[in-house]
Amino acid sequence: MDSKKKLGLVGRNISYSFSKKFFEEKFQKLMLDQFSYSIFDFQEIDEVESLFKDPELLGFNVTIPYKEKIIDYLDELSDEAREIGAVNCVLIKDGIKIGYNTDAFGFEKTLKIHRKSHQNSALILGNGGAAKAVQYVLNKNGISTQTVSRKSDLNFENLDKETVQNHHIIVQCTPLGTFPNTEDCLEFPFEGLSKEHLVIDLIYNPNYTKFIINSAERDSKTVNGYYMLEQQAEKAWEIWNFKKK
C-alpha cells in the first residue's frame, strides 16, 4: 500500500474554496483512498515552511493572496511561472519545490471558447497573481492589453466610457464581489459596454457577481471563472501525477 499523498490549498480566508470538494470528489470517483486534500489557511505566507516539513506532502495549490509571495519559498519555477511572476501550483519532487502556473492554462481554454475575431484588445482589472496570468495569455494570443488598478496610470478613478468602448475584452481579476461579500462591485463605467464585448469575471462564487450582472444588462457576453478554475485544477492534477518520475 502506498503511503498517504497529501495535497491541499494555501491561501488566506479560504474556507469557501472549491478545490477541496473538487479533489475529494475526484479521489472518490477514481477510487484513490491514498490521497487527501486539506485547506491550509495561513495568515502569513511564512507559515508555509511548516508544510514543507511533511514528508507525505506531494504538492498544493496556491490562491489569494500568496501567488506571488510563494515564489521566495520555492527551489525552481516552470518557464511559464517565471515569465508570469506568479505560482498557483506547487509540486514537491525528491525534496525539490517546483512552482507552476496553471491559471494561464485555464484562462486560455476559457478565452478560446468565447472570444470572437473582432475582440483584439483587452482591459485587465486588477494587478495581482491572477491578472499576471491573464496578461501572459492575452499577449500570447496577440491581444493588446491595458491594466487598470488602483495605482496604475489608468485606474478606477479615471477609466472612462470611451476606453471601455475601445477594448472588447474585459477581464475582472480582483476578488471584489467574492462570497460572502457578494454585494461588492468595482467602480466601472458599465455604460461603455455593448454586445460587442466579452466580459470575464474570474470569480466563481457566486456564479453571478454584481459585475457580471451589470455587464449582462448591457448585452455583453459574460463568463464567470468556474470553467477556468476547473481546467487549472485538472492541469494541477496532471502535474502532481505525471511529473513525479
Domains in the chain, CATH or no CATH each? 5-101 (3.40.50.10860), 104-227 (3.40.50.720)
Reference 101, options 74, 119, 124; nearest CA is: 74
Q: Is the pLDDT of residue 245 over 80?
A: no
Q: Is the pLDDT of residue 243 over 70?
A: no
What is the distance between the alpha carbons of residues 43 and 58, in angstroms, rounded to a whole number?
A: 22
Q: What percent of the chain has pLDDT over 70?
A: 98
Q: Is the pLDDT of residue 127 over 60?
A: yes
59 Ramachandran zone, left/alpha/beta (phi>0; psi -120 to 50): left
Provide the pLDDT for residue 204: 93
Provide the pLDDT for residue 16: 74
Reference 137, options 228, 215, 207, 236; nearest CA is: 228
Provide the pLDDT for residue 26: 95
| Residue in 5, 20, 67, 221 annotated catalytic | 67
Provide the pLDDT for residue 1: 42
CA angle (53 as vertex; 73, 23 as ends), nearest 5: 80
Across the chain, what does the average pLDDT equal? 95
Residue 236, classed as helix, strand or coil, is: helix
- pLDDT tens-digit readout, 7-39: 999 999 888 788 999 999 999 999 999 999 999
How many angstroms from the chain centroid is the CA of residue 107? 8
Provide the pLDDT for residue 15: 81
Q: Is the pLDDT of residue 49 over 80?
A: yes
Whether 67 is catalytic is: yes
Indicate the pLDDT class of residue 2, thresholds 50, 70 and 90.
low
Provide the pLDDT for residue 21: 93
- pLDDT tens-digit readout, 144-188: 999 999 999 999 999 999 999 999 999 999 999 998 999 999 999
End-to-end alpha carbon distance in the chain: 18
Backbone angles phi, psi at 158, to 5 degrees: -105, 0
Distances (CA, A) of 38 to 96, 106, 129, 143: 21, 22, 22, 37
Provide the pLDDT for residue 244: 52
What is the distance between the alpha carbons of residues 23 and 21, in angstroms, rounded to a whole number?
A: 6
